[in-house]
Amino acid sequence: MVLPVVLDVDTGVDDACALLLAAMHPSLDLRAVTCVGGNAPVDAVVAHTLTVLDAAGRPDVVVARGAERPLLEAAVDARHVHGEDGMGDLDWARSSRCADPRHAVEVLRDTLLEAAAHGDSSSLVTLVPLAPLTNVALLLRTYPQVAAGLREIVFMGGAVEVGNATASAEFNVFHDPEAAAVVLDACADLAIPVTMYGLDVFYQPRVSLEQARLLVAAGGHGASELAGRLVEFQCQRFESTAATIGDAGAVCAVIEPGGVRAERLPVRVELAGTWSRGRTIVDRRDWGGDLSHDPHGQARSSIDVCLDVDAQRYATIWLDTVSGGMR
């Protein structure tokens, strides 16, 4: 079965790796890509997204501009990780295409309502947010009826253990913690299944510098060369002989969910902590008894939290796909 998917991205290096996979893998039908400010400002995110889809041979995919800042706070970016241009400073030729005139939330609404109108489960869309959850929060609170068109949400964000933006918080959730909290609450209200592909598994699927150079050697400014250059950039920036495929792992979890070990666990987002704002509080207590002594009670949202991953399996899926081996 070919699975309909929509990606919500803040395209930097790792989102670009994920876009290539989602656009090219034969088991996915990429219906649209929506953009939000995060790794880079939203206009740069739109430009990067169009460029990556062109390299993947998918100019047919709708791309839409969404929120440029978090719900409450000023925008920040992660150019210290993703390069000054937000996508590896590759000097890659930009797409000549433009974004859809609709706002990202409108594109998400229209795509999901269309899926719901088909009336069969094979048309339901898997939404894969790889960015701050601002667009998704606005969508679910403004148009809750879109839940009828959703199969599930698989998001890259959060962590059970350590963060990266801070010692406590992962970047996507830290960038807009209110949006993440709204999404978890809305999904509990609307009975939308959710999987969290967080930092606990994010770094594990890796590609070597040698493998990246083989991709670059394909040349032609196509998907293989771009994929290789993205990995090369990470290896150079972090002085390493291998690099993570990052957000592409969340797309792999949609393609082959058996490659991750997940547990259904209650999750909250910390919104007020001095040192822990943006942390995903994952309740792993192994007792199910009396909660009367816990002043917080149990979180409303119980979601599937990825705790381990078959890293080699996911790296191979990505390499086979971006090299054209599965097309």
Q: Which residues are catalytic?
A: 10
Q: What is the dihedral of CA 201, 15, 10, 195, to 10 degrees?
A: -40
Rg of the chain (C-alpha set) = 19
- Residue 44 Cα distances to 22, 56, 59, 228, angstroms: 20, 18, 18, 21
Burial per residue of 152-165, b for 16 or more beta-carbon CB atoms within 10 angstroms, e otherwise: bbbbbbbbbeebbb
Q: Nearest to residue 202, comparing CAs of 180, 224, 170, 177?
A: 170
124 close to 80: Cβ distance less than 8 angstroms: no
* Residue 204 CB contacts under 8 Å (≥ 6 apart), including other chains: 244, 249, 309, 311
Q: What is the dihedral of CA 204, 187, 301, 173, to 10 degrees?
A: 50
Q: Nearest to residue 220, comparing CAs of 109, 303, 324?
A: 324
Structure tokens at 38: 């995060």
CA gap 154, 142 in Å, rounded: 20
Q: In the 8-state DSSP scheme, what is residue 7?
A: E
**What DSSP string describes 251-271?**
HHHHH-GGGEEEEEEEEEE--
